[in-house]
Amino acid sequence: MAVTEGLAEKLFIPAPVINTKAEERRFLLPVNHRENSLHDYSTEAMKRSIGLFCSSELSIDHWMTPGNINPLQIFGANSSSQPGLPEAAVALCFKSKLPHAAICQSLINAEGKAMNPKQAEVISTRYQIPIYQVSALISENAELFEDDYFGDL
C-alpha cells in the first residue's frame, strides 16, 4: 500500500527501521484494522485494513499491529531519487480525486514470473483493465513531483 508522508503521519504509523536517507521511501509498520483478528487475511479483513487509508474519519485508534497491510511511504517531492511505481500510483489516485493511497501490484503468470507485455494485454482485454506505463504516468504528472503536493495529504 503506497501512502503519502502526510497520510502516514495522520494515522501515526511509524517506520520500524529508519532509512539511511531521510528523503527515501520508508517501509512502515504493518497494520491491521482493530476490528480484525490477528493474522486474518480474509477478503473482509483486508478490505477493512485498506479502508484505514481511505477515510478521513479513521485515526491511530483504528489500527493495531502486527498487520495484514504493509504500507510504504512514497518519496517526497524534494527527494533526489527518481519516482517509480508507488509514486505513479499515488499520483494517479491524486489526479482522480481518490484517497491518496494506492495498492501496487505486480502481475505474475502461472509460473510465478512477471507477466510479459503480451500476457498483460490479454488480461487487460479480457477483464477490461487499463494498462498504464509508469514512465508515462510520471511524465504526464511531472508537476506533482516538482513541488511538495503530497507533503500534507
pLDDT at 58 > cutoff 60: yes
> What are the distances in angstroms from CA 80 to CA 23, 40, 74?
7, 38, 13
Tens of pLDDT, residue by residue over 97-149, are 888 788 777 777 888 888 888 998 998 899 888 887 777 877 887 776 665 55
| Cis, peptide link before residue 66, omega less than 30° from 0 | yes
68 and 30 in contact (C-beta within 8 Å)?
yes
**To the nearest whole percent, how much of the chain has pLDDT over 90?**
14
Amino acid at 16: P
Query: Which residues on adjacent β-strands are paired with residue 45?
Result: none
Question: d(Cα 79, Cα 64) in Å, to the nearest integer?
Answer: 30
pLDDT at 153 > cutoff 50: no
Q: Global pTM? A: 0.70
Question: d(Cα 124, Cα 104) in Å, to the nearest integer?
Answer: 16
- Phi and psi (nearest 5°) for 83? -65, 150
